[in-house]
A and B are shown apart, each in its own frame.
Chain A
Amino acid sequence: MPTAHVCSIVPISKTVGANRIIPSVAIPHPLGDPDKSPDEEKAIRRRLVEKALKALETEISEQRVFD
């Protein structure tokens, strides 16, 4: 079952062996940004989740970071 790892510290994700890696915003708010307006923040979150869904639909043969 494919897993998309949305995470703040990509090197750790790579080291522990995640295969589909989506870099997120920041450690205390990986899928958000409190400095933005609520609408902008939700749009950022949506882009990250959409990227994760794309990653889940993408054939890979080794670890890949979906920037």
Chain B
Amino acid sequence: MAKTIRAIHCLNQFFGGLGGEEKGGLAPQWFEGPRGPGSLIQQLAADIAVVGTVVVGDNYMAEHPDEGAAEIVALIETEIAKDPALRPDLVMAGPAFAAGRYGMSCGAICQAVLEKLGISTVTAMHPDNPALDIYRQTLTVVRAGADVMGMREAVAGMVRVGIKLVAGEAIVPETDGTIPRGLRRNYFADATGAERAVEMLMRKLRGEEIRTEYPMPVFSRVTPAPPVADMAKATLALVTSGGIVPRGNPDRIESANASKYGEYSLRGLDHLSAESHQSVHGGYDTTYANEDPNRVLPLDVVRDLEREGRIGGLNETYYATVGNATSVKRAEAYGREIAAKLINVGVQAVILTST
């Protein structure tokens, strides 16, 4: 059968056969035809011809992913200009397995090719590859094993999914073995939700296998921090996701899906009031919080306890965001930044209030 799909394949220095760690800084190189796992692509797919291979060092890409990806796009464009028959239908990268730098490299390359050349891309990674934190929503990534032992399976998946992408077919994570991008697709079900739920319950009672239609997100767990021996000797900080900000909302924190958090002084304030502060949270009735913002950020009581010596001191800056449809990823980033700032100024404990 004639090879009908032209693919360009991208590899790191190791899989491209150019060297190990010592070649990590290698700038992008062009090779005609397949190299390394590219031969497996051709072997597994009767209709894919790997017309060229780009090899780039892991460190080169990890150190400047955007510039590196732009160089690779330029390299591909140059080769196409020299020989239009090289114009690919598909760009394949990896598999990167669980390798972090290689994953970042494959992700950056695929993203740049999609955006700048408008050519379909596919790569493959282990679900724990850190590059997925950045690229899972935008790229088609086949689920791969943790290491090179899963090469054949991963390449077979890339081939299968790549052919579908070129044909313009929809990719369905459950059946195509890709990492879910978080997209929702409408479909007509044979039975109503109530009927399906009862059917699922019956299967569960019979001890049969069930599969949820709505998997819950997996949240990270944090080992509990050791306690503070005596709060009377410690500095406390106040943080809230309840949207309490100085009146007028100087940082314009959004009432939903907040893109930032604010840091505001408490110096000289004995309590919050309707005149000094307000809530900009869009997910609850803010009447009561606006009447008396201490109902969300309990400054009045904390000042009393500070005077009485129950706490050693209050950090004179508080932090606030709006926890309304704010993504977990963003919230985690805010938490990390706020914690770093608090540790930096010697805060030992936090009261975080949420509505």
Contact = CB atoms under 8 A, between A and B. Distances in A.
A56 B228 contact: yes
Contact of B291 (A34, A45, A49): A34
Give chain A's interface residue range (CB within 8 Å of chain B): 35 or more
B85 interface: no
A8 B201 CA distance: 30
Contacts of A29: 288-289, 295-296
Interface residues of B, number: 48
A4 B286 CA distance: 23
Contact of A17 (B219, B302, B304, B339): B219
Contact of B304 (A7, A30, A46): A46
B228 A2 contact: yes
B242 interface: yes
A62 B221 CA distance: 10
B193 interface: no
Interface stretch (B48-56, B116-124, B162-170, B347-355): B347-355
A5 B331 CA distance: 14
24 contacts: A2-B349, A3-B349, A3-B351, A4-B350, A6-B351, A15-B219, A17-B219, A17-B220, A19-B222, A19-B224, A20-B224, A28-B285, A28-B288, A30-B354, A31-B301, A31-B353, A32-B288, A32-B295, A34-B295, A42-B300, A45-B298, A53-B236, A56-B227, A56-B228
Interface of A: 1-9, 13, 15-20, 24, 27-32, 34, 41-42, 45-46, 48-50, 52-53, 56-63
